[in-house]
Amino acid sequence: MELEVRHLRALCAIADTGSLHRAARALGVSQPALTTQLRRIENALGAELFSRERTGCRPTLLGHAVLSRARPLVDGMSALVSDAKAEAAAAEGPRLRIGCTASRVIGGWLRRLRLRLPGTDISLRVDVSARALLRAVDADRLDVAFVHEVEGCPLAVPDGLEQRVLVDREPQFVSMARDHPAASLPVVDLADLAADRWMVDPTVDGEWDGLRRMFDQAGLAPAVLHGDYLTAASLVVLGEAVAPCQPTSGPRDDMAIRPLRDDPLAVRLLLVSRPGADMTAVYAELEAAYRDAARRVAGYHQWLLRNRSPLARS
């Protein structure tokens, strides 16, 4: 078998995520397909590149050597494609390449940007990994990334990128079934949910670590289910689990969303861009979209007022 760039990209994804499961999701392939591909690559090279452990995959000595030469090739190919697209786009007009982790404000932000920047070709990439988005900005595959940083799990922002903080500490609320006993309370104590199964997506950078940190500080050890948040919503509605959620999550007829007392789980919201890029309009429209989303959720708007956030102002 002759190695191709896609094989090197797969190796880098496995190393970056530390897991075949997470790497498969990032690459948009099934885990069995990625496992088979890795086995073929290792057979072609004649040795294992990753040691499979209970907690994930770790590069072997040969794996580190291969990765050190693979990364420049992968980045070089990405830069080649990006530069070619940039030259093609330059003749067509301005463009704005946006990346973001999942957020309730994205729709409003895009709508505002299209009105503010008519004639601009605006593209969107949503990724569970904030780190992957930051690398894409650093490699000039994205112009800007709107990401969240879980408290206690700092992101490694590449040197030279510019950051603007939208919200320094956004509390994470909790979603539960409408008939959950705690749903009758305006603010929920974490201890009231100790007997529940909690749903978390471990592929979201920092999510599981942040949740575990919250439980440790509270001296709790509830059951935890791992899965994506689309599945989590269906389980929450049925009363099979509770899950952390963004405070901008709107009211739902089939689900209760409540703040946690003393806000034990929080994230920081950042807009990251390449140096020298004028992000004034981009940030202004993001801030306006976030403010609109927060006002639509009475519980979160009250939280912003209590904490004297400038986002609560008219």
Cα-based torsion angle of the residue sequence 157, 161, 167, 171 in order, rounded to the nearest 10 degrees: -10
266-273: strand order across its sheet: 121-126, 95-100, 144-150, 266-273, 162-171
Which of the pair, 172 or 309, is modelled with greater confidence? 172
Q: 175: how many CB neighbours lie within 10 A of its CB? A: 24
Tell me the Cα Rg of the chain. 21
Cα-based torsion angle of the residue sequence 115, 97, 207, 187 in order, rounded to the nearest 10 degrees: -10
Query: What percentage of the chain exceeds 90 in pLDDT?
Result: 56
The pLDDT score that the predictor gives to residue 308 is 83
* Phi, psi angles (nearest 5°) of residue 249: -65, 125
Residue 314 — pLDDT band, cuts 50, 70, 90? low
pLDDT for residue 202 is more than 90: no
The pLDDT score that the predictor gives to residue 86 is 64
CB 204 within 8 A of CB 196: no
Tell me how far apart the alpha carbons of residues 129 and 281 are, in angstroms, rounded to a whole number. Answer: 25
Residue with token string 């932000």: 109
Which of the pair, 286 or 54, is modelled with greater confidence? 286
pLDDT, tens only, 111-162? 999 999 998 999 999 988 899 999 999 999 999 999 999 999 999 899 999 9
pLDDT for residue 88 is more than 80: no
Which of the pair, 1 or 293, is modelled with greater confidence? 293
Residue 53 — pLDDT band, cuts 50, 70, 90? confident
CB 82 within 8 A of CB 139: yes
The pLDDT score that the predictor gives to residue 219 is 95
pLDDT, tens only, 229-276? 778 888 999 999 999 999 998 778 889 999 999 999 999 999 999 888
Please give the average per-residue pLDDT across 67-73, as a whole number: 87
